[in-house]
């Protein structure tokens, strides 16, 4: 007795492109900064380079306005820091969490 074998039609691969989320951008920024923990000038240069990536991704609508704002707030703090502040920001775990807000100093 023979069996009827059904062949499945090949489904076309229609995958959406993977978009990096907030955690990935923050993780990349943190790793980049921690690689230059002992040379904050070099780290700041790398942060500026990464800002260009953010702006390009934002222009392509890969990054939301809210995420771009959060990344820019962190970059502002890192770029304005001296050696001591640089290390403090790197060690501050809350600074690297999504949703971090600047503390308003009056």
**Average pLDDT score, the chain:** 85
* Statement: residue 28 has pLDDT above 50: yes
* Per-residue pLDDT at 100: 86
Six-digit token string for 19: 């978009």
CA distances from 74 to 12, 17, 87, 98, 106 (A): 42, 27, 14, 11, 19
- Average pLDDT, integer, range 62-89: 93
Which one has a higher pLDDT value, 96 or 104? 96
Average pLDDT, stretch 43-70? 93
Domain boundaries, the chain: 22-95
* Tokens found for residue 38: 């002992």
């Amino acid at each position: 007795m023979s069996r009827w074998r059904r062949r499945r039609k090949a489904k076309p691969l229609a995958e959406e492109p993977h978009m990096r989320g907030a955690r990935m951008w923050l993780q990349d920024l943190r790793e980049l900064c921690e690689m230059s923990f002992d040379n904050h000038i070099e780290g700041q240069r790398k942060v500026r380079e990464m800002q260009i990536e953010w702006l390009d991704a934002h222009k392509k609508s890969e990054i939301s306005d809210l995420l771009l704002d959060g990344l820019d707030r962190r970059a502002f703090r890192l770029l304005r820091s001296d050696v001591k502040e640089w290390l403090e920001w790197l060690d501050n775990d809350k600074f690297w969490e999504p949703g971090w807000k600047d503390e308003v100093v009056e």
